[in-house]
Amino acid sequence: MILNAMIDSLIFKFVCMIRTLFTALLFAFVLLPSLSFAQSDAGIGLKPANIAENMEPGEVRQFTVLVENVSGQDQNYYIFKRDISGVRDGGVPIFADNNLDTGGFALSDWIQLESDRLEVKAGEERAMSFIMSVPQDASPCDHFGGIFVSAEPPELEASGAAIGYQVANIVSIRVAGECIEKAQIRQFSTDNYFYGSSNVDFNLKFENSGNTLLRPTGPLTITNMFGKQVANLTFNEEQAGVFPGVTREFLFSWTSDQTGFGRYEAMVSPSYGEEGFKQTAFSTATFWILPMNIILPAAGVLAALLLIAYISIRVYVKRQLAYYGATSGTRKLVRRHTNNSSTPLLLILVVMVSVTALFLLILLALFA
């Protein structure tokens, strides 16, 4: 009976294993393809992603955007417009709900969409046009908004029930007139003051206090303690924009394969504004590179040298005192030399400081 129970148990385990394997295969060959297909159904492409143009008050112009259906089935997209009310950290624009919060840079009222719906077949693209009409009394400089393409109607998205995917074309129109281009660097620093290698992270906060969009960019140089330039980079090489009245934070890094040591200074001088009327901001930041794989062995060698020097001088002083004590023949002379023991101690201190200074100079010459 015991043997039969063991056989039944083995058969039950084998059946369970076959059932589990069959379920896994069913999931892999049936469910996974359907999930991948569902995710691919949501793809929307929009070209170009940004429109930036100069226009005169009262001017009317037509723009065209290509909407691409990169999903696996035909889609009926919804087209709508919104204003930009501000910018999040990192420069991501905040679009106003229902075009109420315009932040002083309203643009949606100037836009007339050709249609609020667009049907695009799978894998194809269609042109979508809209007309931009700048009012005669439009305020000068930059105005911002966006043209949205969504798989769900905007009413459903406003209710929070939509789960579709949407993309936006950022529209920036600069109206002719007097523009105020004013900016400054609020902060330029590193995330740490001491680094163990040449891998430094920078943080720069650029404030746009004018009324026009700015794209600051310019050189970033790094020099060591001897004034030698060790790096020459370009700040904001992609020319990301800073909206009016916004302080944008830029995070970037400097990495070098060379071994660094000592104090470094980074100097950034981005330019901004229209061509021919460029202005330049300026700021510096300092940091130290103290690689532990060099500092710790060097400190060990220095400690060993100081210990050897100290022991050697102590042995020499004792021998000299013993020699003078043996040859004087009087306790008075011995006492006099004993009282002058401060002179050997001063000599020890001078030698130790000299060795330390010489060692640091050698270290700096090798690794700075």
What's the pLDDT tens digit per position in 206-263? 999 988 888 899 999 999 988 899 999 999 998 888 888 889 999 999 998 887 788 9
**Orientation of helix 292-328 relative to helix 342-367, angle to 10°:** 160
142 or 31, which is more confident = 142
C-alpha to C-alpha distance for 356 and 348, rounded to whole angstroms:
12
C-alpha to C-alpha distance for 146 and 83, rounded to whole angstroms:
6
% of the chain surpassing 90 pLDDT: 26
Cβ burial of 212 (10 Å; 0-12, 13-18, 19+) is: buried
> The tokens 């009262």 sit on which residue?
58
In this prediction, residues 7-21 reach a mean pLDDT of: 45
Per-residue confidence band for 90, with pLDDT thresholds at 50, 70 and 90: low
In this prediction, residues 157-181 reach a mean pLDDT of: 71
Taking residue 204's Cβ as centre, other Cβ atoms within 10 Å add up to 24
* pTM of the entire predicted model: 0.58
Per-residue confidence band for 9, with pLDDT thresholds at 50, 70 and 90: low
Residue 74 backbone dihedrals phi, psi, to 5 degrees: -65, 145
Is the bond preceding residue 48 a cis peptide, omega within 30 degrees? yes
Strand pairing of 93-95 and 111-113? unpaired
